[in-house]
Structure 1
Amino acid sequence: MSVVGFDLGFQSCYVAVARAGGIETVANEYSDRCTPSFVSYGPRNRSIGAAAKSQVVSNCQNTVQGFKQFHGRAFSDPYVQAAKSNLVYDLAQLPSGSTGIKVMYMEEERVFSIEQVTGMLLTKLKETAESAMKKPVVDCVISVPSYFTDPERRSVMDAAQIAGLNCLRLMNDSTAVTLAYGIYKQDLPAPEEKPRIVLFVDVGHSGYQVSVCAFNKGKLKILATAFDPELGGKNFDNILVNHFCEEFGKKYKLDVKTKPRALVRLYQECEKLKRLMSANSSDLPLNIECFMNDIDVSGKLNRGQFEEMCAGLLAKVEGPLRSVMEQTKLKKEDIYAVEIVGGASRMPAIKERIGKFFGKELSTTLNADEAVARGCALQCAILSPAFKVREFSITDVVPYSISLKWNSAAEEGLRYELRQFLVKNVVPQASGESAKNKMQMDQRIRNSRLETAKIKKQKLKRWSKLVLTCKAITIEQQRTTSRENQPPQAKKPKVKTKTVELPIENKLHWQLPNDVLNLCVENEGKMIMQDKLEKERNDAKNYVEEYDTETWLYEDGEDQQKQVYIDKLGDLKQMGQPICERYMEANERPKAFEELGRQIQVYMKIVEAYKAKDELYDHLDELEVTRVDKQVKDAMVWMSSKMNQQNNQDLTLDPSSKSGRSMPRLSLQPVLSKPKPKVEPPKEEKTENGPVNGQEGTEEPCNSDTAKPAGTEQGTPEKSNLKWTLNNLFYLSFTSSPATCP
């Protein structure tokens, strides 16, 4: 079972998986752990991630980015209308009133919903996870900003379904960071002790989020959250772009915003300049060749000037910090640490203001880019029964309040944010009196609960959508019976309770209907198949190009079907494969002949040594050595013949012999490396009652010179025996047993 966490970022995404060794952030096909949040549409297929980002200049109007900000928003939303001016692609209104993206795909104009585009990006992230884990990925946890409203969250959930993912939970970015921080801490206070308070600041590309978390051993509790969606890396980029648009307009008379391609290039260069200014305080250049109308442009800026331009944005840094401190009633000295994450958190001006507010040095123990994805993967592991994770409870908060409002109309209504529930068939009693109604609401919110949520490892209840239903309506009809001459307090009135199920009409704004959602899933499957077919076609074309047929490829073969390339490659191989094989043989054959010649020389020397009765080989079997001698001589004759034949043959003809196939193999090592038989040294003879004649040691050797091994000396048994063994090992190899006295 897969356990995956997706950090679905505004500018880039990260994928973290749970393995036996822990949590790991995996790399994509470019060996990069960061996957750009880009989708590009072409005449034959889509490109997603790094491949799409590479087309942001050449195919700018059909390459979309930053679409995360449009989730759950109507096209008429003022935020959407204001954001249109900074986009190089077109937005359009869908029949439901929500926002869509207009592009050219498969040589026709298409309008995709935000859920579809995000689903395409999630499909790519899913493939990255599957490639890393070598198994299918279904269950996952996806991150969203803490300031996302309910419609925005439901929009992301729809996108996950389009990608074929079962999102177990949508997790706030700040909550994911706190989990990644706290679950590995071994020194947290005990549950009954005062908690450790840590403040987390996440400055991403699209927004600014702050949360205060209380840690105890085995649990965390989010005390408060605050945010500013208009304070992120993209806002600083916009200031730089507007500055240089104005400068180039005055200096070069260029209206940059009228040329989408030039605007995209300027955004890229401004982002690079912003990163450089984070590490350098000196003047830094910005140069773009052939920017517009074949004009090269240049400019320069330093960190001080940039911070002065961004003074309005930087002044907003303290607002969310002050907000969470007021919500929690904490003092600055109660904060144990201030942990900062997010790509834009590297800006010195932001870090300086946060540190100055709390009067302490900021902590950067977490990976600023990958902490959210790792936290999501940990949450997925906690929810998954396939992993055994340390018990760790998470208590989260929802930043938006809940309101219930009753209408005065005949049909009573229950309002929750942008949703409306109409309870029907509520009628008065037969007597005309109003009925007493009790509503039991079974509230199942899968990703962000209305009340404080404690997530524990238990059997997972999987709900596909956020559901709020009135489970039952209880109508209590009170009927009192009064008796004469009886005080009214004597008996309580009898109450008759009747429980009935009432129909409820659920109206959800910007939620994809089931039929539309199913159609999106079907279309995504078709586009995945089209991408696969186009990849196979391009691969077949590349294989043809390897045979150096550029003329045909750039003319008739520029745009052909896959089978045409396969047939062309087959025709080329009939002519080119023999040439390739002859070329390879011309390189490998000399090496093979050289190795065969070396083996022949080694074996011939051994055979000659045997014939000369060398003591090292006189134990070998004569018949086997004779057979070896014949094989070596045959191999030498064969090699000499083939080498002469090949030297007299043209290189355009097939070789007379092929390396590794027709060459003889001399497997003679087992025969020639047979070890000599071992001969055991003589054992000492002793009587049962001790040494003979009352003397220790071995028997006195006889005077025969042939019986006494060379170098044997009298002395202690241990010393003489050891010396006898070492000095006469070679001698004993050729002697059956040492001579002894009669």
Structure 2
Amino acid sequence: MSVVGFDLGFQSCYVAVARAGGIETVANEYSDRCTPSFVSYGPRNRSIGAAAKSQVVSNCQNTVQGFKQFHGRAFSDPYVQAAKSNLVYDLAQLPSGSTGIKVMYMEEERVFSIEQVTGMLLTKLKETAESAMKKPVVDCVISVPSYFTDPERRSVMDAAQIAGLNCLRLMNDSTAVTLAYGIYKQDLPAPEEKPRIVLFVDVGHSGYQVSVCAFNKGKLKILATAFDPELGGKNFDNILVNHFCEEFGKKYKLDVKTKPRALVRLYQECEKLKRLMSANSSDLPLNIECFMNDIDVSGKLNRGQFEEMCAGLLAKVEGPLRSVMEQTKLKKEDIYAVEIVGGASRMPAIKERIGKFFGKELSTTLNADEAVARGCALQCAILSPAFKVREFSITDVVPYSISLKWNSAAEEGLSDCEVFPKNHAAPFSKVLTFFRKEPFTLEGYYNNKKELPCPNSAIGQFLVKNVVPQAKKPKVKTKTVELPIENKLHWQLPNDVLNLCVENEGKMIMQDKLEKERNDAKNYVEEYVYEMRDKLHGILEKFVNEADRDTFSLKLEDTETWLYEDGEDQQKQVYIDKLGDLKQMGQPICERYMEANERPKAFEELGRQIQVYMKIVEAYKAKDELYDHLDELEVTRVDKQVKDAMVWMSSKMNQQNNQDLTLDPVVNIGEIHAKIKELYSACNPVLSKPKPKVEPPKEEKTENGPVNGQEGTEEPCNSDKAKPAGTEEGTPEKKQPEMDIE
């Protein structure tokens, strides 16, 4: 059973797995533990992760990123409409009203739902986990921001199903961090003691999350959370991009936002500049060659100027900190430590403001990038029966207050009830009693719209079926009946649509696989051309005559030309056939080279074997008692076999020494190894036959003692015992020589 945690980030993702040795963050095929959250669509296949990010400039309008922000949101949502201006790809409205992404895929225009695109990214992360674990991955825990609403969370769950994953639980980013922090702590207070209060700040690329957690031995309890989805690394990037767009407009008369490729390149350079400014306070340059209209652009900025530009954003840092303190009614001195994680947490201005608010040094004991994935993997291990994990209780909170409303016949109108107030413990179950004679509908919604990051407060409708009147009978036991409930949840994909998405994902995975095989076949041809062209004038030069070398070189050159012209886009079998055609000429040359290198070793092995057998035969002829048990006829046959082998080897070596290296060898390695095996089979059973054991003569005893008339006394412990001939004291016993053979 797989135990995997996925940190599904806005800009990058991490995969952590549980193994016998603990939790490990695994690397992708590029040996990088960070997988970019990019998906690129081409005429033949999709590219996902690092391969997609490499196409963000060359295929900018079909390479999507930052799609996490559109989960569970309608196309008409003001947030979606505002975000469109910063995108280089197109958004479109789906029939359901939700947001879709419009791209060119397989040379036709396609609109994919956000669930499908995220499902594609999860497919890639799943492959990374399977490659690391060497087994299929199904069960997992996936992280989401703590400010995600129910529709957003259900949208992520649908994406997991499309990727063929069984998401055991969606885990808040901040809760995953608290678990990664607390489960290894050995010095936490006992359950009956006052808990240790730790505040966690996660500043990611897409949002800012704060949580306060109370730790006791074996458990953690989230006390409160606060967040700002508009305060993250991307918001600082946007400020930089807008600054340089304005500067380049004045300086070079360029309207950057009209050219998607130029805008993407500017985003890349601004992100690099932001990171450099975190480590350096001096003026730093920004240079982009052939940026737009064949114009090179340049600019410069320093950290002080950047912080002035971001003053409005930085002023929002204290808001969530103050919010959690007010919610929990804690004092700053009650906070044991302030732990900070997230990619954007490296910005000095953010760290400075957080540290100043609490008046203490910030703690960075966790890996800022990987803590969320590790926490998710730990949660998956806790939920999995395959792993035995230290008992650890996790209590999260509800981020928004939730209410139910229904039609009330008694009150002639709608009735409602707040079921879960803000910061209520989660997961949690409540029992509500309704007196009804017929099916009825409940509607779930968030009752405080001001708290929500999105305008839609609806969660879903729940139709309670099979409700019928029950006859009143005195003193009758209560009967419990399971009633079916039909859910109609906002933005959750219907089963038929979800099944179609799963089917389409399977087809796209197969198409990607076929295209990879086609590209691999093409690359094999290209690699073979370059390899053989170098070797023909290098290590293979002595093993091919000049005429054949010229012919083969010309064929390699023609193949290289074909690869970049007619062979640029061919079927897989065409490349396989082309490689086979080349190998018909190249393989014999390579085999002659290989034979020439390995043949001396094979002859040396055969020679050693012959020498061993000859020594034993000579010892037998010299009446060595070590071999006097061998059969004379068999030894004679072995002697002949060994001499024949020596003659064969000498003959072949002489013939080979006189053979031109450009011709096929007189004898190949396979024949030499066959001779070694033949000699071993014929000689070893005879010459390795063990010497029969001789039992010492037994003494005959009478009633009066031994037959020789000696007294029946025991032999003194220090008496000299009889030794076999040739083993007098001080003379080592003669041993049979070991045979150095297979």
**Which category of TM-score, normalised to the shorter sequence, fits these structures?**
0.7 to 0.9
Q: Is the 8 A contact 2:202 2:340 kept in 1?
A: yes
CA distance 1:588–1:693, change in 2 (3 Å): closer
Q: Deviations over 1:148-190 (max 9, x none)?
A: 1111111111111111112111111001111111111121111
Q: How far is 1:640 from its partner?
A: 3.6
Q: Deviation per CA, 1:439-495, whole angstroms, max 9, x where unpaired? A: xxxxxxxxxxxxxxxxxxxxxxxxxxxxxxxxxxxxxxxxxxxxxxxxx99999999
| Aligned 8 A contact 2:102 2:109 in 1 | yes
CA distance in 1, matches of 2:629, 2:287: 83
1:495, 1:184 → 2: CA distance? 53
From the superposition, tell whether residues 603 and 151 of structure 1 become closer, same or farther in structure 2 (CA, over 3 Å).
Answer: same
Give 1:607 deviation, angstroms. Answer: 8.6
> Does structure 2 retain, via aligned residues, the 8 Å contact 1:411–1:422?
no
Deviation at 1:638, TM superposition (A): 3.3
Structure 2 vs 1, CA of residues 495 and 576 (structure 1 numbering), >3 Å: closer, same or farther? closer
Once the two structures are TM-superposed, the CA of residue 133 in structure 1 deviates from its matched residue by 1.9
CA contact (8 A) 1:38 1:50 kept: yes
Give the direction of change, closer, same or farther, for the CA distance of 1:19–1:489 in structure 2 (3 Å limit): closer
Q: Does the 8 A contact of 1:7 with 1:373 survive in 2?
A: yes
Work out whether 1:387 is the aligned partner of 2:428.
no
- Structure 1 alignment gaps of length 5 or more: 428-487, 656-666, 719-742
Q: Does 1:671 align with 2:686?
A: yes
Residues 700 and 707 of structure 2 are in contact (CA less than 8 Å); yes or no, is this contact kept in structure 1? no
Cα deviation for residue 379 of structure 1 reads 1.3
1:699–1:378: structure 2 CA closer, same or farther, 3 Å change rule?
closer
Following TM superposition, by how much is the alpha carbon of 1:391 offset from its aligned partner in structure 2, in angstroms?
1.9
Post-superposition shift, 1:644?
3.1
- Indicate the SS of the match to 2:661: coil
- How has the CA–CA distance of structure 1 residues 695 and 355 changed in structure 2, closer, same or farther, with 3 Å as cutoff? farther
Structure 1 contact 697–716 (Cα < 8 Å) conserved: no
Report the CA distance between 1:397 and its aligned residue.
0.7
Residue 682 to residue 508, structure 1, CA distance change in 2 (3 Å): closer
Residues 685 and 698 in structure 1, CA contact (< 8 A), matched pair in contact too = no
Larger Rg belongs to = 1
Question: How far 1:5 sits from its partner (Å)?
Answer: 1.2
**Partners of 1:28 and 1:229 in 2: how far apart?**
29
Does 85-94 or 255-264 show the bigger shift?
255-264
Which of 468, 472, 479 is residue 498 of structure 1 equivalent to?
Answer: 479
Deviation track 1:14-44 (CA, whole Å, cap 9, x = no partner) reads 1112222222212222222111111111111
Query: Would you say the 8 A contact 1:697–1:717 is kept in 2?
Result: no
Deviations along 1:544-585, one digit per CA (max 9) or x if unpaired, are 334x93233233332222233333344444443333322322
1:615-654 equivalent positions in 2, closer than 5 A: 634-654=644-664
Contact 2:224 2:327 in 1 (8 A): yes
1:119/1:163 contact within 8 Å kept: yes
SS, match of residue 698 in structure 1: coil
**Do the aligned residues in 2 keep the contact of 1:411 with 1:426 (CA within 8 Å)?**
no
Moved more, 396-405 or 175-184: 396-405
- Compute the displacement of 1:285 (Å): 2.5
| Aligned: 1:539 with 2:520 | yes
**Is the 1:71–1:156 Cα contact (8 Å) retained in structure 2?**
yes
CA distance in 1, matches of 2:368, 2:21: 22
CA distance in 2, matches of 1:513, 1:717: 89
What are the superposed Cα offsets for residues 564-623 of structure 1, whole Å, 9 maximum, x if unpaired? 333334444444333332232233234444565677778889999999999999999999
Q: Residue 405 of structure 1 aligns to a residue in which SS?
A: strand
- Structure 1 pair 179/623, CA: closer, same or farther in 2 (3 Å)? same
Cα 1:73/1:412, change in 2 over 3 Å:
farther
- How has the CA–CA distance of structure 1 residues 544 and 411 changed in structure 2, closer, same or farther, with 3 Å as cutoff? farther
Distance in 2 (CA, whole Å) between partners of 1:539 and 1:212 is 51
Cα 1:649–1:240, aligned 2, differ >3 Å: closer, same or farther? same
| Cα separation, 2, equivalents of 1:251 and 1:691 | 124
1:268, CA displacement in angstroms? Answer: 1.5
Matching residue of 2:460: 419
Stretch moving more, 592-601 or 360-369 = 592-601
Secondary structure at the counterpart of residue 714 of structure 1: coil
Bigger shift: residues 566-575 or 33-42: 566-575
Provide closer, same or farther for how the CA distance between residues 491 and 62 of structure 1 changes in structure 2, counting only shifts above 3 A: closer
Instruction: Provide the rounded CA distance (Å) in 1 between the counterparts of 2:501 and 2:706.
Output: 102
When residues 15 and 634 of structure 1 are mapped into structure 2, their CA distance, relative to the original with a 3 A threshold, is same
Distance 2:36 2:316 in 1: 28
Q: Are residues 1:553 and 2:553 paired?
A: no
Q: Distance in 2 between matches of 1:673 and 1:193?
A: 77
Closer/same/farther in 2, CA of residues 70 and 611 from structure 1, 3 Å limit: same
Distance 1:614 1:97, change over 3 A: same
- Tell me what 2:233 maps to: 233
The percentage of counterpart residues that share the same residue type is: 99
Deviation at 1:499, TM superposition (A): 11
Q: Is the 8 A contact 2:16 2:26 kept in 1?
A: yes
For 1:499 and 1:627, the matched residues in 2 are separated by 93
Deviations 1:407-439 (A, max 9, x none): 6999988xxxx4345789999xxxxxxxxxxxx
What is the TM-score when the length of structure 1 is the normalising length? 0.74
8 Å contact kept, 1:684–1:698: no
Q: TM-score, normalised by structure 2?
A: 0.74
Aligned partners of 1:103 and 1:110 also within 8 Å: yes
The Cα offsets for residues 374-404 of structure 1, whole Å up to 9 and x where unpaired, read as: 1111111222222222222111111111234
Equivalent position of 1:682 in the other structure? 697
1:322, distance to aligned residue in structure 2 (A): 0.7
Aligned partners of 1:18 and 1:378 also within 8 Å? yes
Contact kept in structure 1, 2:700 and 2:706, CA below 8 Å: no
Contact 2:705 2:712 in 1 (8 A): no
Cα RMSD after superposing both structures? 5.7
SS at match of 1:245: helix
2:271 matches 1:271: yes
Displacement of 1:626: 7.8
Figure out how many residues of one structure are paired with residues of the other and give that number. Answer: 642
Contact 1:197 1:337 in 2 (8 A): yes
- 1:109 partner SS: strand
Q: How many angstroms apart in 2 are the aligned matches of 1:636 and 1:122? A: 65
Correspondence for 2:606 among 587, 596, 602: 596
Q: Work out whether residues 412 and 422 of structure 1, in 8 Å CA contact, stay in contact via their aligned partners in 2.
A: no
SS of 1:330's equivalent in the other structure is: coil
SS of 1:91's equivalent in the other structure is strand
Residues 460 and 489 of structure 2 are in contact (CA less than 8 Å); yes or no, is this contact kept in structure 1?
yes
Contact 2:241 2:270 in 1 (8 A): yes
1:203, 1:344 within 8 Å by CA — same for their partners in 2? yes
Distance 1:703 1:34 in 2: 77
Distance 1:680 1:239, change over 3 A: farther
Contact residue 702 and residue 708 of structure 1 kept, 8 A: no
The 8 Å contact of residues 412 and 424 in structure 1, kept in 2 or not, is answered as no
Q: 1:517 to 1:687 in 2, by over 3 A?
A: same
Distance 2:188 2:336 in 1: 12
Quick check: which one's helix share is greater? 2
Alpha carbons of 1:693 and 1:673: their partners in 2 closer, same or farther (altered >3 Å)? closer
Q: What is the CA–CA distance in structure 2 between the aligned matches of 1:345 and 1:40, rounded to whole Å?
A: 29
Q: Look up the SS of the partner of 2:398 in the other structure.
A: coil
**Match status 1:113 vs 2:108:** no
1:511-546 per-position Cα deviation (integer Å, ceiling 9, x unaligned): 222221121111111111111121222222233334
Q: Using a 3 Å threshold, how does the CA distance of structure 1 residues 223 and 500 change in structure 2: closer, same or farther?
A: closer
